[in-house]
Amino acid sequence: MDLSFRVEAHLRGTVTKLLLALTLLSLLPLSLFAQQHGGGEANLILPDLSKASFLGFDGRTFLMIGLVVSALGLMFGLVIYKQLQNMPVHSSMREISELIYETCKTYLTTQGKFLMILEIFIGAIILFYFGVLQHMEAFKVAIILFFSLVGIAGSYAVAWFGIRVNTFANSRTAFASLRGKPFPCYDIPLRAGMSIGMLLISVELMIMLIILLFIPGDYAGSCFIGFAIGESLGAAALRVAGGIFTKIADIGADLMKIVFKIKEDDVRNPGVIADCTGDNAGDSVGPSADGFETYGVTGVALISFILLAVRDPLVQVQLLVWIFTMRVMMVVASVGSYLINGMLAKAKYQNVDKMNFEAPLTTLVWLTSIISVALTYVVSALLIPNLGGDDSLWWKLSTVITCGTLAGAIIPELVKVFTSTESRHVREVVTSSREGGASLNILSGLVAGNFSAYWLGMSILALMTIAYHVSSMGMGSLMLAPAVFAFGLVAFGFLGMGPVTIAVDSYGPVTDNAQSVYELSMIETLPEIEKDLKKNFGFDVKFEAAKQHLEENDGAGNTFKATAKPVLIGTAVVGATTMIFSIIVMLTEGLKTELLSNLSILHPRPEGHVQHLPDGVLRDSCIRIL
């Protein structure tokens, strides 16, 4: 079900975009292809950010703080990386984790070659479209090509970092379990996940701020579209291929278990290492690249909408600075919440012999959500107390973002109802398997899955409805179609807890791998292992407690692996509304009535009565969608 869910979601998005592009192309008069100049996102010009003042600083100077926070976030991720690398681990377990990493390296190297082949084709299309059809100057075309490579490199580098961190953490988690305490089994995977989440968001934010602050305004549009193309390409390949790889490897290991009557993590099972690699490829590489792309493209969609739909240049600057400040604030909120939750969890669970692994993870998600919501209102009140002459819009915009932020906490709760080890639905599937065999097992799983999708959809619909009503309370005086901007902000809020969302998602592959590392190391059978561990590491080993904690923690990891997927996919779906509407605004030169009628495929205008569309805009829109 997991594989079909991922592939179906990506294929559905691709087919939708293709159909929209073909619809737009069907509206395009052939004479437009002979025109000399193009419009679209590549030619959007950013306003001067220094026009507006924020807390005594101009907008450009104020956003420099974001670069500092991004650099600190990057350092945070790298420091945890080194801490994990230096944690104690037995050589037998280290060997297994390094073997998994070497297999992961082979997978990522192959993916890298594939991405380069794709980039050659995409680069050729970029050259032909912008250079030949639009006659764009060579320097701008080169910028788009360069930043498409930056986008691919960003997705790929974050995925590689995640693999390396996870393959440090899996053996360290397995080794820490030998002490018989559950807290290290929880702490190490979460620490690894926060390392990945902080580095991912910090790198993304830093690149976008560099474009915003240091690239001339008339070139920034080209940078953003190139960057969006690159990271979308990287995410598509890494997400879909990783999802397929992990399920093929998992099924292979399961077949060996069924046919030869051996345990899944038995050393005699040749599919185990591939299965461990698949856990990382599907549940770490894929979501990391997907999160990197979604975080960036949602930002590009909002920037495009602001520049196209907001009339006042001063308000454009205020909204742009406000949005990026929100992103910086949410990084700070995620780190602060992680540190606070870490202290609370350590005080409560450090010395216990048994714990509910889901409890501190749930606390982290809700704590981050609450702190992010509170800071959203505080920072908005300070930055935009008056927007376009309206002194109430700060709390209205904050409320819209809060709808998305709350979704990041509510969705995991709804997912847990259907996937938690304590869930009634999970127990129903177990009962179905025991009493009805394979067919009833499948039916029971499908029922639970469809039921969960219903509640997830209803929750997103409810939050978007609230955002829609708030957007009707005066935002229309500043922009066209404020409801669409509100939907974009909801998608923006979905990613407000980006580092934590990625962290709890990456928690799963580490806990899954930790079990396999424990079994494959055969540490229990090593001669005089108890004396060795006592002498070199200073503790008495507890094998049975270790296996029990790893098993329970794996269940929590599987639950929280499922929570990030609907958040990331929901962000893409909701954010696509803003992107598509931005295209419509370009096509209709600001929603002119006489041009809106050209978009109707139900009531096409008679031949000879089609209004002239802006130069090259429709072609730009089709390329962007594709």
Lowest-pLDDT range, 176-180, 359-363, 390-394, 606-610? 606-610
Query: Which position has the higher pLDDT, 600 or 172?
Result: 172
Is the pLDDT at 40 greater than 80? The verdict is: no
How does residue 541 score in pLDDT terms, banded at 50, 70 and 90? very high
Looking at residue 387, what DSSP letter applies?
B
pLDDT band at 20 (very low <50, low <70, confident <90, very high): very low
* Predicted confidence (pLDDT) at residue 225 exceeds the cutoff of 80: yes
The answer on pLDDT for 306 being more than 80 is yes
- Predicted confidence at residue 31, as pLDDT, reads 31
Confidence band for 531, pLDDT divided at 50, 70 and 90: very high
Query: Does an H or E element contain 58, and which?
Result: strand 57-58
Average pLDDT, the chain: 84
Q: Is the pLDDT of residue 12 over 90?
A: no
**Residue 21: which pLDDT band, with cuts at 50, 70 and 90?**
very low
pLDDT at 244 over 60: yes
Helices (H) and strands (E) in the chain, counts: 18, 2
Q: How confident is the model at residue 42 (pLDDT cuts 50, 70, 90)?
A: low
More confident residue, 28 or 332: 332
Q: Mean pLDDT lowest for which of 258-272, 315-329, 401-415?
A: 258-272
What number is the average pLDDT over the span 299-305?
Answer: 87
Per-residue confidence (pLDDT) for residue 613, from 0 to 100 = 46
Rounded-to-5 percentages of helix, strand, coil across the chain: 80, 0, 15
- For residue 489 the two structure tokens come to 């902000």
CA-to-CA dists, residue 423 to 196, 361, 417, 418, 456, angstroms: 29, 16, 6, 6, 16
Which of the pair, 63 or 601, is modelled with greater confidence?
63
Biggest distance spanned by C-alpha atoms of the chain: 90
Q: Are 162 and 284 in contact (CB under 8 A)?
A: yes
pLDDT at 549: 94
Per-residue pLDDT at 241: 84
Q: What is the predicted pLDDT for the residue at 600?
A: 64
105 burial level (CB within 10 Å; 0-12, 13-18, 19+): middle
Q: What is the pLDDT of residue 621?
A: 46
> What DSSP state is assigned to residue 30?
G
Which of 31-40, 132-141, 299-308, 378-387 shows the highest mean pLDDT? 378-387
pLDDT at 419 over 70: yes
- Position 203 scores a pLDDT of 93
Q: Residue 605: what pLDDT?
A: 56
pLDDT tens by residue, 460-484: 899 999 999 999 998 888 888 898 8
- Report pLDDT for 3: 45
Instruction: Give me the residues paired with residue 387 across strands.
Output: 390
Question: Cα–Cα distance between 427 and 436 in angstroms, integer?
Answer: 14
If we measure between CA atoms, which residue out of 412, 445, 510 comes closest to residue 167?
A: 510
State residue 623's pLDDT score.
Answer: 42
Q: Give pLDDT, residue 18.
A: 37
Average pLDDT over residues 174-191: 95
Q: What is the pLDDT of residue 66?
A: 92
Find the mean pLDDT for residues 383-390.
91
The mean pLDDT value for 213-232 works out to: 88
Name the residue with tokens 């295209």: 583
Higher pLDDT, residue 449 or 41: 449
Strand partners, 479: 310
Which amino acid is it at 175?
F
Specify the pLDDT at position 352: 94
- Using the predicted structure, report yes or no on whether residue 245 has a pLDDT greater than 80: yes
Residue 346 has pLDDT above 80, yes or no: yes
Half-sphere exposure of 1 (CA within 13 A, CB side): 13
Find the radius of gyration of the CA atoms of the chain.
Answer: 25
Higher pLDDT among residues 435 and 88, named by residue: 88
The answer to whether 544 and 603 are in contact (CB under 8 A) is no
User: Which residue's structure tokens are 């297994």?
Assistant: 96
Residue 385 pLDDT exceeds 90: yes
User: With 80 as the cut, is the pLDDT of residue 355 above it?
Assistant: yes
pLDDT of residue 60: 92
Determine which of 151-165, 312-326, 425-439, 461-475 has the lowest per-residue pLDDT on average: 425-439
Q: What percent of the chain has pLDDT over 70?
A: 89
| Matching residue, tokens 């790929």 | 156
Contact 51, 190 (CB under 8 A): no
